[in-house]
Amino acid sequence: MTTKLFGSKVPRVEDQRLLRGRGRYVDDVLVGQRVLHAAVLRSPHAHARILDIDVTDVLDVEGVHVVWTFEDLADLSGSMAEPLPLLIPHPTLTHGRTQYALAKDEVNYAGEAIAFVVADDRYVAEDAVSRIRVDYELLEPVVGIPAARAADRLVHDDVPGNVGARMEQENGDARAAIAAAPHTLELDLTIERSACQPMEGRGVVARWDPDTGRLTVWSSTQTSTGVRGCVAAKLGLDLGQVDVVTPDVGGGFGVKINHPWPEELLVPLAARTLDVPVKFTEDRREHFISSAHERGQVHHVTVGYDDDGRVLGLDVEFWHDHGAYTPYGLIVPIITSTQLLGPYKPGAYRVVFESLYTNTVMVTPYRGAGRPQGCYVMERTMDAIAAALGKDRTEVRATNFIQPDEFPYDHGLVFQDGRELEYDSGDYPASLAKLKELVGWDEFPAFREEMAAQGRRVGIGLACYVEGTGVGPYEGAHVHVETSGKVKVSTGLTTQGQGHQTVLAQIVADELGVRFEQVEVTTGDTRRMPYAVGTFASRTAVMSGSAVHLAAQRAKEKALRIAAEALEASVDDLEISDGVVRVRGTESAIDLGTVAVLSNPLRYAFDEASKAATQFSVGDPGKPPVAEDDEPGLEGRDFYSPERSTFASGMHAVVVETDPDTAEVRILKYAVVHDCGHLINPMIVEGQIHGGVAQGVGGALYERMAYDESGQLLNASFMDFLMPYVTEVPERIDIDHLETPSPLNPLGIKGAGEAGVIPSAAVFAAAIEDAEGIRITSMPISPSELFHLRDQKEPS
């Protein structure tokens, strides 16, 4: 009997290959073949006009094949001389701006692409880039939110006040509710810029086939189909002329969802122009100064509440630093503004934000995508209310929770997908009860006294969040049963190490009744699945999982129909187990591979198995071999498109110790309760949480993008951009799960990919504040900053 796999801790099938060094990344493509290499000249200035670009010294360098500036692009492809796409327009993004593939007239951040060189190898290409001379007229840069708001200088001359967008949403009359509330307080809160740093930077390889007029692009991306569409549009090709393949990806975390990067257009254009494959591989400094950042926001909160701590009115105004350009629209601040509410139901809520231009690297989603900022603001507000009333922090949260019998719960706002912000399921009181037990919340006061007797400072914090997952518009899947009995599954989204080949195979194996080992999953290849969206926003399980489930159902229905005819039985009497279709209670059976043979009427027998499907062996002479409403092959293809997002939730708690001399923060205990609906593979979900917590520790205590007033990134290397070692992340993370299934998809699942990182800033701020008795209003917090805060509190 086939073992039930959904919900089981099936080991990841990817790991043996990846851990043994057998992964295949973009930089491994076309190894051993002739490939030319690209390098990019990037602006050393944050804001400057380009007066002249002199490439004379490069033209005669041996091994150089192409030197392009903006002026060359119009001659090669008209649309290449236009700005890059604004991927997600929005009515309130009144002044959206995107960069050119190569800068035209002006540069707006240090790292912007100016010239492109293709040579025999990367060494020659880099040497050639260093020979290009650019004359600049330096302009005063705008760096940071205060400078952007002051608007003494403009990033773009045609954007008044540096404001790209202003958006306001309100449910109820928040200001009136606050004015009438028994208690009010105000908070100013800041989260600084950070950035994801995947082990593999961006990379792209392209090969043009002049005989077929087809372009193949390999890209380290989170959206193969998105890159395909952009490349085709910009190079003037039909969509069917472009194939995009995403091999193994060494980490994405959101930075690789933005597309197209300049190199994703320039490399294919060069490959077609030169009729030779071309490769670009980003180095680490390039990733720091020319990819994307996130997080930077400043919030002002006004809240009104009653004697129980119940929020009667909440008014939030914030400013979002989106950098020099807005290719990904307003997704990050919209998520912040709506997900800020978490599991709570304020009596009235108003939020307004301005998305501001600065002369810094552009902002696109980074794991959590606006949610860490929102969670930080809401949880700091809850802690402040508890402190003002002298109440337990868990009690104030419980007072404000949406209750289990109130789902679906409509917040009266519009989410990032343009749909209602309506939570589908959850049980927040149950999660809080689990978390308190897991971390030992009620026992902590005694522990604090014990530590204080030893001269040690400890603190405890908690943070709650809700995460919109599984955003549309759709994902698709194709399930094909081979005549060998193997099952090939294709889905268009990409994978960056999340275990997609394992969890999707579990779903298919269960639905089809085949062994897990017989299922092979392919992702991120437009040749196999041309219609897809991408991997981001914790959407794979919900979107592709549902699509794979539906496609497997279609294949199963066909298999049973064909088998019923072959076995002369009713479909209702059949079952599939271990890849064999059986008539229940009898010995009559047929292998699924044989059913696949029978599904394809043949004229020619090319092996023993195919004989069973030839014209004189099977079929009714009185009927056509393929029925009018049928097609050959044992396959299923389907798409899943949700009416709105699913909403996962969770709660984290941490116990920290702060060193009285060095102000270093040590994690003593970390606990997580998570609800992503039905768990496909608990081990993979817990792995996602572990990775997210580690990333969250970095974001809360170490990682920030440090710009000076001239717009230079001062810590653009791993020597200066601090990340936690294994010694800085929790040795153990205590995890418990709650499963409130979503009613919005056939599997009852919700996303899990960003769960570990969302509440990190909030939970560490709370715990450090509890340990030190010092108000924490800005994150991340380093030992030197905590030391400074101590000096402010206790002047020597």
What does the pLDDT look like over 694-724, one tens digit per residue? 999 999 999 999 999 999 999 999 999 988 8
- Assess whether pLDDT exceeds 50 at residue 796: no
Write the burial class of residue 727 (CB in 10 Å: 0-12 exposed, 13-18 middle, 19+ buried). exposed
- Assess whether pLDDT exceeds 50 at residue 733: yes
Q: Rounded to whole angstroms, how far apart are CA atoms 103 and 113?
A: 6
pLDDT for position 1: 47
Higher pLDDT, 329 or 1: 329
Give pTM, 2 decimals: 0.96
- Assess whether pLDDT exceeds 80 at residue 611: no
- How many other β-carbons are positioned within 10 Å of the β-carbon of residue 341? 26
Each residue's pLDDT tens digit, 532-588: 999 999 999 999 999 999 999 999 999 999 999 999 999 999 999 999 999 999 999
pLDDT for position 624: 84
In the chain, pLDDT over 70 holds for what percent of residues? Answer: 99
- Assess whether pLDDT exceeds 70 at residue 615: no
pLDDT band at residue 602 using 50, 70 and 90 as cut-offs: confident
Each residue's pLDDT tens digit, 745-767: 999 999 999 988 999 999 999 99
- Cα distances (angstroms) measured from residue 649 to each of 310, 469, 611: 21, 10, 55
3-state secondary structure of 129: helix
Each residue's pLDDT tens digit, 527-540: 999 999 999 999 99
Each residue's pLDDT tens digit, 316-355: 999 999 999 999 999 999 999 999 999 999 999 999 999 9
Task: Report the chain's mean pLDDT, rounded to a whole number.
Answer: 95
Mean pLDDT, rounded, for 666-681: 97
- Assess whether pLDDT exceeds 80 at residue 604: no
pLDDT for position 2: 54
Nearest partner of 224 among 495, 497, 546, 416, judged by Cα = 495
Gyration radius of the chain's alpha carbons: 28
- Assess whether pLDDT exceeds 70 at residue 144: yes
Angle between helices 371-389 and 760-772 (to 10 degrees): 30
pLDDT for position 628: 80
Mean pLDDT, rounded, for 403-407: 98
The residue count for the chain: 796
Each residue's pLDDT tens digit, 347-382: 999 999 999 999 999 999 999 999 999 999 999 999
- Assess whether pLDDT exceeds 80 at residue 678: yes
Show the 3-state SS of 693-725.
HHHHHHHHHCCCCCECCCCCECCCCCCCCCCCC
- Assess whether pLDDT exceeds 80 at residue 254: yes
Return the DSSP state at 359.
S
Cβ pair 508, 556 in contact under 8 A: no
Each residue's pLDDT tens digit, 83-101: 999 999 999 999 999 999 9
Strand pairing report for 420-423 and 580-583: unpaired
H or E element that contains 507: helix 500-512
Nearest partner of 35 among 206, 217, 212, 265, judged by Cα = 206
